[in-house]
Amino acid sequence: MMQEHKSTLAQSHFQGVARKVDIRFDHYFEVLTFRLELADSDGNILSYKAVELSGTKIFGVISDGDTVEVVGQETKTGLFQPKRLYNLSTGAEITTNSLTARTPLTPKHELTRKNELLISLLITILGSVALFYIFSRANASKKLVKPCPSLSSVHLGRSTQTQ
């Protein structure tokens, strides 16, 4: 059952059974992960490959136990990142709108905890300023329309006199 073909572009081709299939969100990415169970023609399990496909949207489904075919590259850490992924059990190709692997942000682009706190503080300040402006405008409009004190006292005077 295990098939592997090496190409000159350092891409590998494997066919096996998907195990421990999981899909999760990681910031702006959907991440599909599973273990690819590689077996010989007699069904004896030879090894496993950790597989990860990510993109802003993943199209298609893989379930635990499906036979799949993956074509891609293995990273230095042993993670297999497919360029092509086929569910042979259903006949469907699993695709993303970004077939390249997630590249970690460089330190100059990465949001550190300090930057996240500064952004949160700025949003809080801007929100407070906006609320202050809204309430001050509302109070200013209330001050423009004042009840006439002479009419109030006349009304109160009449109502007390009639009782």
Domain boundaries, the chain: 5-96, 104-145
In whole numbers, what is the pLDDT of the chain averaged over residues?
76
Q: Give the range among 107-111, 126-130, 142-146 with minimum mean pLDDT.
A: 107-111
**Spatial separation of the C-alpha atoms in residues 104 and 21, rounded to whole Å:** 23
In this prediction, residue 13 carries a pLDDT of 85
Q: Which of 79-83, 100-104, 111-115, 154-158 has the highest mean pLDDT?
A: 79-83
Of 26, 88, 91, residue with least CA distance to 52: 26
Fold type of domain 5-96: OB fold (Dihydrolipoamide Acetyltransferase, E2P) (2.40.50)
Count of helices and strands (H, E) across the chain = 2, 8
How far does CA 100 lie from the centroid of its chain? 16
pLDDT tens digits, residue range 62-108? Answer: 999 999 999 888 888 888 888 888 999 999 898 888 644 444 444 44
pLDDT higher for 22 or 28? 22
How far does CA 28 lie from the centroid of its chain? 4
pLDDT tens digits, residue range 121-130? Answer: 888 998 888 8
Residue 114's pLDDT band (boundaries 50, 70, 90)? low
In this prediction, residue 111 carries a pLDDT of 54
Write down the H helix ranges in 107-148: 113-144
In this prediction, residue 18 carries a pLDDT of 92
